[in-house]
Amino acid sequence: MIQLNVNSYDKVIKPLKSVTINTLFAKSVINQQVPGSVYVDCPINPRVFYIVHPYGMSLLFGETENANFNDHLFVYLTNKEKLRNKEEWLQVFPKSWNKKLESLLASYLIKKDFTNKIEFLGTNYDNRKVVENTRVNFVFNPNEYRNVKTKFSRQREEIVRVTKETFRNFEGNVVPKYFWKDENQFENKGIGFNLIYDNTVVSIAFSSFRVKNQLEIGIETLERYRSKGFALYVCSALINYCIENSLEPVWSCRQENTASYQLAHKLGFIPTLSIPYYRLLV
């Protein structure tokens, strides 16, 4: 795995277009909207690619049979040499990479089904470093959204645009400051809405990635204010913005994240693809 210089990111553009799963986070790195990392097998004529977004999402794609690359990949995924200081969530393409990783990782891989039942591969459980979950890609259905939004369009809470102050101060696992370089970039190229309750910003929906006419939705609600419908209301404001500005709202989440999965359905998103999603432990 050789880190590719940012001046050579153009070598990744065409191969990335062939990936048919949601790759907006990877495109935001290649487009240098955020400072991520790109690793390849060869900087001159790369055939294997590993893109890391600073939030901790990664994409592996390209040829599967480069032995030298795969040796280094094994070290990276298992973190044997402490190359990573935080967890990552990895997607792969094409499907043949899943079989390759299963063979490559062996006892280091933990497979989980939708009920979170764990199936260990191999016997060396002390080495487990990679946990397989499931990621779901959705497609937005405008007609379905129009049918359902009348049911939740009369909320009393105030919804306003995300400000620089909110960008700086709103805390959570999925918040704008983890997806944009700074508040100025977000103000110029991003968009988000807050829901205010008891004079407090309690829920936020924002563009986590925005590439051309596609906008992927990020959502966070303060824990003590969850299960009140706030996420539904604030996401609806962002979706309305997308429709008014000819943008396609995009949604992807872990299938194991029941709240996000169900929220997508309520907002008119239809699941189209389920793929392995690898949690890389430290």
* pLDDT reported for residue 129: 86
* pLDDT reported for residue 157: 80
Decide which of 81, 108, 134 is a domain's last residue. Answer: 134
* pLDDT reported for residue 238: 97
* DSSP state at residue 143: H
Same domain, yes or no: 128 and 146: no
Same domain, yes or no: 38 and 159: no
Same domain, yes or no: 262 and 227: yes
CATH number of the structural domain spanning residue 212: 3.40.630.30
Q: What is the pLDDT along the chain (282 residues), one digit of tens a residue?
A: 999 999 999 999 999 999 999 999 999 999 999 999 999 999 999 999 999 999 999 999 999 999 999 999 999 999 989 889 999 999 999 999 999 999 999 989 998 654 545 444 444 444 568 999 999 999 999 999 998 887 766 667 899 999 999 999 999 999 999 999 999 999 999 999 999 998 999 999 999 999 999 999 999 999 999 998 899 999 999 999 999 999 999 999 999 999 999 999 999 999 999 999 999 998
Decide which of 134, 153, 170 is a domain's last residue. Answer: 134
Same domain, yes or no: 125 and 51: yes
Within-domain flag for 125: yes
Within-domain flag for 281: no
Same domain, yes or no: 42 and 65: yes
Same domain, yes or no: 122 and 208: no
* pLDDT reported for residue 147: 86
CATH number of the structural domain spanning residue 78: 3.40.630
Decide which of 134, 169, 193 is a domain's last residue. Answer: 134
* pLDDT reported for residue 125: 44
> Containing domain of residue 172, as a range?
137-274
Predicted TM-score (pTM) of this structure: 0.91
Q: HSE (CB half, 13 Å, CA atoms) of 215?
A: 25
Same domain, yes or no: 75 and 174: no
Within-domain flag for 280: no
Cβ atoms of 52 and 88 within 8 Å: the answer is: yes
Number of folded domains in the chain? Answer: 2
* pLDDT reported for residue 118: 46
